[in-house]
Amino acid sequence: MDKLRAHFTPLYSSLGLKALGLALLVLILDQLTKLGVWHGLNLQTIGDQVNILPIFSLTMVHNQGISFGFFHSEGAGRWVLVLFQFGMGLALMDYVRTQTNAWLALSLGLIIGGAIGNGIDRARLGFVIDFLDFSGTHIFPWVFNVADSAICIGVALLVWYFVRADLTAKRKDAA
């Protein structure tokens, strides 16, 4: 019991609260954009599309995989992904709540919001709604959503944070 009490003291840092607020903002933005595409634009069938620019359209894709359709799974695999996404989201929420590094808090807030946003889709629908389509660029063929973007940006910031921390540590060791 003492270990549990020590783990949750202090309950939140200022940056931890901001990271959780960012996660909530990403989650809300993700779910609102998906609802807007699904109900507002009535894009529900795979391939339904609204062309916006020559390089950009809103295209309905039902993603049953993880990022960009990798690791496609149905049935029990779907629920394994749901449990993984929510479990990872909760574990990161626990970790970020006392965070004191701004870059780490920012990156984890983005990842948490994205993971939970896509997890909600997968649990509710059996797939993740993807609709942002830049395939007209002929460079990026995948269709994605706000949650995917937040996760990718969060992971890139996390990698940058660790590379920078490693370089700083090497400089200190060399001095």
Catalytic residue positions, numbered: 130, 148
What's the Cα-to-Cα distance from 170 to each of 51, 70, 112, 175, rounded to whole Å? Answer: 50, 36, 30, 9
**What number of helices (H) and strands (E) belong to the chain?**
5, 4
Rounded to whole angstroms, what are the CA distances from 107 to 10, 26, 73, 97, 113? Answer: 21, 12, 27, 13, 10
Write the CB contacts of 33 (distance below 8 Å, at least 6 apart in sequence): 131, 145, 146
Q: Judge whether 20 and 93 are in contact, CB under 8 Å.
A: yes
